[in-house]
């Protein structure tokens, strides 16, 4: 079983085969995976069978893990795992149903946003042979490179505010989320400021970091101008040529780089269609 990396067509994603993630990854393979992760931003592993401890061990191979602020959705035995699910037990959700209904980069509302995340698919809904609950990833580096030079120059040095509480409240107001965040959770996620365009710590590639899910405004600009630029960047980032759409199968592991990508969950299913994934989140550094 030789480790193989097959890049997808387009600027984002590769399928990795020839590796069983339920076993410790050999040092040489770990290096190949890290290089592929940096090069392709999204790695897809099919046909895996993982215990929670396997997912945690595999994820830790790439760095320290975060414990998510939405602590009601953490795995009971492994708090490094965030349960992403629409399933309810005894009338209570067992996980977060809406893990990303708006384009976002994980934890971009923290001073030190996540470097990367890993999702492991345990139950995936389908209807008439079609997989529901797809996830989309956009390459915000390829998108940045396609901007015209005038706009690139204008964005240079601009900073933006990111605020989970404010954006989450908007979800609640729009009827897209059930429960507001608690005061405690809001306190843990005060507004932070990041560059509009950030630089990748390993590849040095620049990418669009402002995202619909967490960014509220660009600093130092009139509100309408800030909004116009944000909307232009958001729309540009998710043009089809920059996007990979993942059709989940049970046993898939997808790991991605949160620095040069944004992603979106398609919520096109409902109980009794069940969806269950386990997610781990890699810590990252302050964007620059
Ligand atoms: C996430 C996320 C997308 C999905 O876990 O970070 O955005 O499709 N999930 O569940
Ligand atoms: Mn996410």
pLDDT, one tens digit per residue, over 251-264 is: 999 999 999 999 99
Residue pair 253/228 in contact by the 8 Å Cβ criterion: no
- Bridge partners (DSSP) of residue 45 are 16, 253
Task: Indicate if 279 belongs to the active site.
Answer: yes
- Residue 204's pLDDT band, with cuts at 50, 70 and 90, is very high
Q: Is 119 in the pocket of ligand 1 (CB under 6 A)?
A: yes
Q: Is 93 exposed, middle or buried (0-12, 13-18, 19+ CB in 10 A)?
A: middle
**186 pLDDT more than 90:** no
**178 pLDDT more than 70:** no
* Ligand 1: residue whose CA is nearest its atom 8: 265
Q: Is 99 in the pocket of ligand 1 (CB under 6 A)?
A: yes
Concatenating the DSSP letter of every residue in 112-152 gives S--SEEEEEEEE--EETTEEPS-EEEEEHHHHHHTS-HHHH
* Ligand 1: residue whose CA is nearest its atom 7: 100
Q: Is 84 in the pocket of ligand 1 (CB under 6 A)?
A: yes
Substitution site in 279, 281, 284 for ligand 1 pocket (most atoms within 8 Å of beta carbon):
279
What's the topology of domain 4-282? Double-stranded beta-helix (3.60.130)
Distance, in Å, from the CA atom of 282 to the CA atom of 275, rounded to the nearest integer, reads: 23
CA of 137 to the centre of ligand 1 (A): 10
Domain segments of the chain as ranges:
4-282
Per-residue pLDDT at 100: 78
- Residue 173's pLDDT band, with cuts at 50, 70 and 90, is confident
- Pick the catalytic residue: 54, 106, 252, 257? 106
List, for residues 103-121, the tens digit of each pLDDT value.
999 999 999 999 999 999 9
Please give the average per-residue pLDDT across 11-35, as a whole number. Answer: 98
CA of 104 to the centre of ligand 2 (A): 6
**Nearest-atom index, ligand 1, CA of 134:** 8
- Ligand closest in space to the Cα of 135: 1
* Ligand 1: residue whose CA is nearest its atom 1: 99
Percent of the chain that is helix, strand, coil (3-state, to 5)? 25, 30, 45
Q: Is 210 in the pocket of ligand 1 (CB under 6 A)?
A: no
Task: Indicate if 263 belongs to the active site.
Answer: yes
- Residue 181's pLDDT band, with cuts at 50, 70 and 90, is confident
- Pick the catalytic residue: 68, 104, 214, 217? 104
**232 pLDDT more than 70:** yes
% of the chain beyond a pLDDT of 70: 98
List the shell of residues around ion ligand 2, using CB closer than 5 Å.
Answer: 100, 106
Substitution site in 84, 121, 177, 250 for ligand 1 pocket (most atoms within 8 Å of beta carbon):
84
pTM for this prediction: 0.95
**179 pLDDT more than 80:** no
Please give the average per-residue pLDDT across 230-238, as a whole number. Answer: 97
Residue pair 115/285 in contact by the 8 Å Cβ criterion: yes
Q: Is 282 in the pocket of ligand 1 (CB under 6 A)?
A: no
**1 pLDDT more than 80:** no
Structure tokens, 171: 């979800």
């Amino acid at each position: 079983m030789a480790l193989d990396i097959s890049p997808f067509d387009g600027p984002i994603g590769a399928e990795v085969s020839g590796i069983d993630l339920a076993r410790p990854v050999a040092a040489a393979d770990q290096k190949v995976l890290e290089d592929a992760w940096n090069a392709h931003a999204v790695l897809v592993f099919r046909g895996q069978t993982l215990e929670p401890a396997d997912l945690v061990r595999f994820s830790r191979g790439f760095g320290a893990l975060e414990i998510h602020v939405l602590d009601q959705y953490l795995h009971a035995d492994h708090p490094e795992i965030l349960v992403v699910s629409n399933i309810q037990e005894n009338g209570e959700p067992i996980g977060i149903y809406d893990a990303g209904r708006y384009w976002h980069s994980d934890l971009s509302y923290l001073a030190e946003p996540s470097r990367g995340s890993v999702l492991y698919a345990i139950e995936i809904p389908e209807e008439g042979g079609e997989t529901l609950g797809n996830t989309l990833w956009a390459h915000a580096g390829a998108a940045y490179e396609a901007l015209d030079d005038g706009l690139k120059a204008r964005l240079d040095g601009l900073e933006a505010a990111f605020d989970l509480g404010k954006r989450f409240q908007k979800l609640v107001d729009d009827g897209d989320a059930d429960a507001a965040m608690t005061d405690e959770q809001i306190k843990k996620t005060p507004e932070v400021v990041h560059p509009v365009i950030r630089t990748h710590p390993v590849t040095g590639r620049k990418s669009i970091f402002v995202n619909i899910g967490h960014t509220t405004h660009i600093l130092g600009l009139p509100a309408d101008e800030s909004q116009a630029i944000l909307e232009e960047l958001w729309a540009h980032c998710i043009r089809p040529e920059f996007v990979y759409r993942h059709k989940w199968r049970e046993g898939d592991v997808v790991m991605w780089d949160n620095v040069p990508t944004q992603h979106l969950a398609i919520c096109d299913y409902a109980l009794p269609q069940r969806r269950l994934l386990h997610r781990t989140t890699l810590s990252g550094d302050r964007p620059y």
